[in-house]
Amino acid sequence: MLNADIPTLNATFGITRQITFVNGPGDLPMVSIQNSAAEATITLQGAHILSFQPHDQQPVLWVSQHALFEAGKGIRGGIPIVFPWFGPHPTDPSKPQHGFARTMVWQVLGTSAGAEGTTQVRLGLNDTDQTRELWPQAFALEYVVTVGSTLEAKLIVRNTDEAAYTWTGALHSYFTVGDVRQIAIRGLDGTMYLDKVDAMQRKTQHGELTFDSETDRIYLDTDATCDIHDPALQRRIQVAKQGSRSTVVWNPWIDKARALADFGDDEYLGMVCVETANAAADAVTLAPGAEHRLKAIITATSDVA
**Residue of 127, 142, 152, 216 interacting with ligand BG6 (CB under 6 A):** 216
CB-based burial label for 150 (10 Å; 0-12, 13-18, 19+): middle
Rounded Cα distance, 125 and 120, in Å: 17
**Binding to ligand BG6 in span 223-262, by CB under 6 A:** 248, 250
The residue nearest ligand BG6 at its CB is 97
Q: Establish if 74 lies at the interface with ligand BG6 (CB under 6 A).
A: yes
Given the residues 142, 152, 267, 275, the one annotated as active site: 275
Nearest distance from C-beta of residue 55 to ligand BG6, angstroms = 30
Nearest distance from C-beta of residue 157 to ligand BG6, angstroms = 18
Nearest distance from C-beta of residue 66 to ligand BG6, angstroms = 12
Is residue 162 among the annotated active site residues?
no
**Residue of 40, 52, 98, 299 interacting with ligand BG6 (CB under 6 A):** 98
**Residue of 73, 89, 95, 196 interacting with ligand BG6 (CB under 6 A):** 196
Nearest distance from C-beta of residue 252 to ligand BG6, angstroms = 7
Rounded Cα distance, 22 and 210, in Å: 39
**Nearer to ligand BG6 by C-beta: 87 or 231?**
87
**Residue of 275, 280, 286, 300 interacting with ligand BG6 (CB under 6 A):** 275
Q: Establish if 97 lies at the interface with ligand BG6 (CB under 6 A).
A: yes
Site string for ligand BG6, 167-186 (x = CB under 6 A): -----x--------------
The separation between CA 122 and the C-alpha centre of its own chain, rounded to angstroms, equals 15
**Nearer to ligand BG6 by C-beta: 216 or 230?**
216
**Nearer to ligand BG6 by C-beta: 266 or 303?**
266
Is residue 172 among the annotated active site residues?
yes
Given the residues 98, 172, 229, 267, the one annotated as active site: 172
Instruction: Report the catalytic residues.
Output: 172, 275
Instruction: Please report, as ranges, the residues that interact with ligand BG6 according to CB under 6 A.
Output: 74, 87, 97-98, 172, 196, 216, 248, 250, 275
